[in-house]
């Protein structure tokens, strides 16, 4: 057993025998690439010239004044395609090219990772197929249209619950048959090793920039660093360079949906138990027989029944703390950020904001907090409008 593949008891490679070699090849290629200055130069070239990095660390004046502590926002919403996901996609597709692959596949739930992958595939001239649950295809018509415009083929997955969990299973199955010319671009810090490690490395640019930017602004580390947690990619990227800075408190915010007690939530950390899904061992929402349960959140991007294995480890080791906020709390925070700062956040990111406002109440005016604003809210305007009209998400 490859010890490196584990974070404490979590992680690993729970895949069919036929994929073990493929994963070993990906790992070897990745380790070589990230120690090759030419690869890093290319990766950072595209982050700068195409994605638009670095993103600002914005001091949010009005919410800071209102909540009585310094609140800085890491503006991942300003990236090309509107969220952090493109950081990881650029890295993985450059790796795929380096390995001589000509095709990429991806899974998507809300469609955000599908759009980011289709974008990278267009940029680097790769054939792209995106697996998406039938249910999600209907719910996310706009993102399906975007992917098709970008030249990707969207495959409807009709099994199980017809959502992300099933699309991911299908993508893994397809990869096992096509790995010779195909690279699987995973969209969060999940999946079999080495994916959680790769995704963390490609998202770590968030904390690398933020730590330096905060140092320039305040001359020290922030007291608190916070991010929302779906599978855990923007949060692990936001935590990465702070993990070995013990004075910095790390907080991950999951979706409590309609409330943890209702059973309709997406909080794998609050109520999940260790189990195996999508090639990894981690905390998962499951019933008493170990069947994976459907997650619920008003935000499609947090609607995942598991969490990345490094987060499971950070939680058990006590280095990071995980909390959950409800749909209603997130939507209140979304409107507040919109009206006090003129920034419409993604509903995912609004979960981190909601807990930031709660946390600020126990902090002093001299202390400071960095919140990862993982994406912008343009994609969510229909959901927000239905919510405000009282349709669908009354608590
Ligand atoms: C996908 C998404 C998330 C959740 O995914 P993580 O892997 O947990 O980061 C959060 N915010 C936005 C804007 C997203 O698109």
Catalytic residue, chosen from 282, 297, 368, 374, is 374
Among the atoms of ligand 1, which is closest to the Cα of residue 232? 8
Spacing, Cα 156 to ligand 1 middle (Å): 22
Mean pLDDT estimate for the chain: 95
Residue-level pLDDT at 161? 85
pLDDT at 392 over 80: no
Q: Is 207 in the pocket of ligand 1 (CB under 6 A)?
A: no
The secondary structure of the chain, three-state, reads CCHHHEECCEECCCCCHHHHHHHHHHHHHHHHHCCCHHHHHHHHHHHHHHHCCCCCEEECHHHHHHHCCEEEEEEHHHCHHHECHHHHHHHHHHHHHHCCCCEEEEEECCCHHHHHHHHHHHHCCCEEEEEEEHHHHHHCHHHHHHHHHCCCEEEEECCCCCCHHHHHHHHHHHHHHHCCCEEECCCCCCCCCCHHHHHHHHHCHHHHHHHHHHHHHHCCCCCEEEEECCCCHHHHHHHHHHCCCCCCEEEEEEEEECCHHHCCCCCHHHHCEEEEECCEEEEECECCCCCECCCCCCCHHHCCCECCHHHHHHHHCCCEEEEEEEHHHHHHHHHHHHHHHCCCECHHHHHHHHHHHHHHCCCCCCCEEEEEECEECHHHHHHHHHHHCCCCCCC
Is 374 labeled as catalytic in the residue annotation? yes
Task: List pLDDT tens digits, range 227-265.
Answer: 999 999 999 999 999 999 999 999 999 999 999 889 889
Q: Is 13 in the pocket of ligand 1 (CB under 6 A)?
A: no
Residue-level pLDDT at 57? 98
Ligand 1, atom 4, residue with closest C-alpha: 230
The answer to whether the pTM exceeds 0.85 is yes
Average pLDDT over residues 104-114: 95
Task: List pLDDT tens digits, range 337-377.
Answer: 999 999 999 999 999 999 999 999 999 999 999 999 999 99
pLDDT at 393 over 60: no
Residue-level pLDDT at 1? 57
Q: Which of 78, 112, 379 to mutate to test the pocket of ligand 1 (most atoms within 8 A of CB)?
A: 112
pLDDT at 116 over 70: yes
Ligand 1, atom 7, residue with closest C-alpha: 233
Least confident of 200-214, 279-293, 318-332: 279-293
Q: Is 233 in the pocket of ligand 1 (CB under 6 A)?
A: yes
Residue-level pLDDT at 272? 85
């Amino acid at each position: 057993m490859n010890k490196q593949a584990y974070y404490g008891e979590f992680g690993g490679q729970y895949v069919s025998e036929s994929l073990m070699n493929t994963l070993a090849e990906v790992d070897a290629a990745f380790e070589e690439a990230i120690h090759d200055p030419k690869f890093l130069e290319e990766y950072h070239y595209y982050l700068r010239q195409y994605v638009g990095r670095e993103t600002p660390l914005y001091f949010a004046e009005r919410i800071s004044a209102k909540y009585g502590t310094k609140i800085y926002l890491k503006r991942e919403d300003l990236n090309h395609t509107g969220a952090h996901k493109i950081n990881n996609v650029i890295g993985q597709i450059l790796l795929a090219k380096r390995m001589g692959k000509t095709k990429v596949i991806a899974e998507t739930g809300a469609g955000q990772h599908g759009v980011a992958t289709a974008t990278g595939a267009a940029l680097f001239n790769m054939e792209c197929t995106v697996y998406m649950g039938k249910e999600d295809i209907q719910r996310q018509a706009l993102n399906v249209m975007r992917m098709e415009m970008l030249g990707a083929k969207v495959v409807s997955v009709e099994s199980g619950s017809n959502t992300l969990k099933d699309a991911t299973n299908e993508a893994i199955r397809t990869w096992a048959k096509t790995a010779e010319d195909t690279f699987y671009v995973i969209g969060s810090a999940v999946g079999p090793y080495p994916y959680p490690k790769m995704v963390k490395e490609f998202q770590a640019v968030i904390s690398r920039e933020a730590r330096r930017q905060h140092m320039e602004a305040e001359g020290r580390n922030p007291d608190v660093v916070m991010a929302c947690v779906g599978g855990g990619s923007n949060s692990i990227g936001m935590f990465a360079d702070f993990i070995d800075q013990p004075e910095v408190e790390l907080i991950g915010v999951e979706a409590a949906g309609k409330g943890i007690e209702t059973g309709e939530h997406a909080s794998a950390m609050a109520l999940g138990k260790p189990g195996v899904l999508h090639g990894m061992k981690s905390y998962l929402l499951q019933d008493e027989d170990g069947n994976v349960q459907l997650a619920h959140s008003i935000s499609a991007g947090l609607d995942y029944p598991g969490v990345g294995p490094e987060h499971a480890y950070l939680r058990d080791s006590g280095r990071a703390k995980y909390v959950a906020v409800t749909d209603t709390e997130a939507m209140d925070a979304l409107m507040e950020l919109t009206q006090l700062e003129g920034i419409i956040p993604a509903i995912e990111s609004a979960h981190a904001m909601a807990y930031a406002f709660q946390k600020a109440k126990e902090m002093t005016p001299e202390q400071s907090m960095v919140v990862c604003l993982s994406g912008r809210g343009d994609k969510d305007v229909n959901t927000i409008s239905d919510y405000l009209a009282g349709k669908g998400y009354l608590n």
